[in-house]
Structure 1
Amino acid sequence: MQMQNQNQNQNLKGTSQMPAQISHGGHELLDTHEALSTLIGSLEQYVLYEQHIESQELKTMQERHRQFMSQLYNTIIETLKTGQEPTVDTQIYHMDQSNDVIYGMKPSAPKAPIQSVGQLNDQCISGYMQGVMKSTASAFTMTALEVTNPVLRRVFADSVPNLIEMSYEIFLYQNKNQYYQVPQLPTQDMQTIMNSYAPIQGNMPH
């Protein structure tokens, strides 16, 4: 990212008549405002969830997510204000969960909305965390498509895979605890869909 951003900044300086710190379009700033508001909401919701978490594993995950998103927030703020490569580049999030997915459905008690805070449990909290990641990843993707400043665009674009990784980590935790069950199609139907596409033959376009 560092080399890419340096090149992008050089191009920016060579083509823009404005200083880097104000090289932002109006649509870009409004979308950035929306994305940052979503990220702030995500961090604040994580604060609310912390006191209700029972599982140490989920608590550790929540703390790691919150720390990562806090650094990301600071990186975006700095890039927004300067238009230059941030002091701390976009990091890469490494999840702790294994990639093993449990397929199939097991009978479970019907679910209904809780009626009091005392009913909050790890299934609820992990579901809320999943919702946070999905909304933030969506906001960042839409913003990356609208940003004109090359460095800020790259920060948003590079952050989306990290949000996806955190979302997947939450899913894996939910799945192994049977909070999120994964049904499958019958084997014949799966094979029919998987075999319904063929590769392009001949010379590929250049």
Structure 2
Amino acid sequence: MPNQNQMQGNQMPQNMPTNQISHNHGAHELLDSHELIGGMIGMLEQYQLYDQHIQDQELKDILNRQSSFATQMYNTIVESFQTGQDPSTPTQQYKMKQSNEVTYGLQAGQPKKPKQSVNELTDECYSSFMLCQTKSIASALTMAGVEMNNPVLRRIIADSVPNMIEMSYELFLYQNKNGYYQVPQLNQQDMNIMLQAYTKAPQGNMPH
């Protein structure tokens, strides 16, 4: 027979609404979810810092739209994480405003080195920080998504990956347009060799 201390240790805390808590989670899933949610909090907090210093109105607009969308994404994930049920607001689709045109080629500039004070940071720096944040969350979502047991949370996390990729692409296009992110290319001959290195596989002999 369990003693009184053991019985008390198995009881739910008095302030825990048991009807709102889902136990349909594995240990690995819980740990990965905590890491993901913590990363999203970090992104949103970092965006608050950047907003005070960004000068370019276009970049500030990107930051505000991404911050608003990521906040809703965070709330949706947290709600499903806690309840295991469909959230009150389903996963949305992020739509960027940048055009898809990419400028290729390299232009020489001054060698870069770490800035020595906050006053030296520029919009190039802040857009780079934002891009690092969105790419990091995209990776975290993907890694967490393949570890989920709860089917609702797994779907929400998986559906959120394209949104973070879109945010990252938007920031890349902004940086590329302003010369902050240059894109080198192979020469035409090497590019053609790479593009022609593969051919389609026949599908008629697939195993049954």
Q: Give the TM-score, by structure 1 length.
A: 0.89
1: distance between equivalents of 2:90 and 2:142?
18
Segment drifting more, 106-115 vs 162-171: 106-115
Q: Which runs of 5+ in 1 are unaligned?
A: 1-18
Correspondence for 2:124? 123
In the alignment, is the contact (CA less than 8 A) between 1:92 and 1:162 conserved in 2?
Answer: yes
Q: 1:90 to 1:108 in 2, by over 3 A?
A: same
Identical residues among aligned pairs (%): 54
Correspondence for 1:13? none
Q: How much has 1:202 moved relative to structure 2?
A: 5.4
Letter in 2 for 1:150: P
The number of equivalent residue pairs is 188
Q: How much has 1:117 moved relative to structure 2?
A: 0.6
Q: Deviations over 1:172-202 (max 9, x none)?
A: 0000000000000010000000001011135
In the alignment, is the contact (CA less than 8 A) between 1:20 and 1:84 conserved in 2?
Answer: no
1: distance between equivalents of 2:21 and 2:201?
44
2: distance between equivalents of 1:75 and 1:22?
18
- CA RMSD in angstroms comes to 1.3
Q: Does 1:46 align with 2:47?
A: yes
2: distance between equivalents of 1:90 and 1:162?
10
Q: Deviations over 1:42-71 (max 9, x none)?
A: 001000100110100000000000000100
Larger Rg over CA atoms: 2
2: distance between equivalents of 1:20 and 1:121?
45
Letter in 1 for 2:183: V
2: distance between equivalents of 1:61 and 1:81?
30
Q: Give the TM-score, by structure 2 length.
A: 0.88
Q: How much has 1:204 moved relative to structure 2?
A: 5.7
More helix by proportion, 1 or 2?
A: 1
Q: Does 1:173 align with 2:166?
A: no
Q: 1:167 to 1:204 in 2, by over 3 A?
A: farther
1: distance between equivalents of 2:51 and 2:156?
28
Q: Does 1:77 align with 2:78?
A: yes
Structure with the larger RCO, 1 or 2 (CA within 8 Å, 6+ apart)? 1
Q: How much has 1:111 moved relative to structure 2?
A: 1.0
Q: Deviations over 1:96-140 (max 9, x none)?
A: 000000000112111111001101110000000010011111111
Q: Deviations over 1:147-179 (max 9, x none)?
A: 100000011100000000000000000000000
Q: Deviations over 1:16-57 (max 9, x none)?
A: xxx982111111000000000100000010001001101000
In the alignment, is the contact (CA less than 8 A) between 2:21 and 2:82 conserved in 1?
Answer: no
1: distance between equivalents of 2:65 and 2:201?
43
Matches within 5 A, 1:1-206: 21-201=22-202, 203=204, 205=206
Which aligned segments of 4 or more residues in structure 1 are displaced greater than 6 angstroms? none
Letter in 1 for 2:72: Q
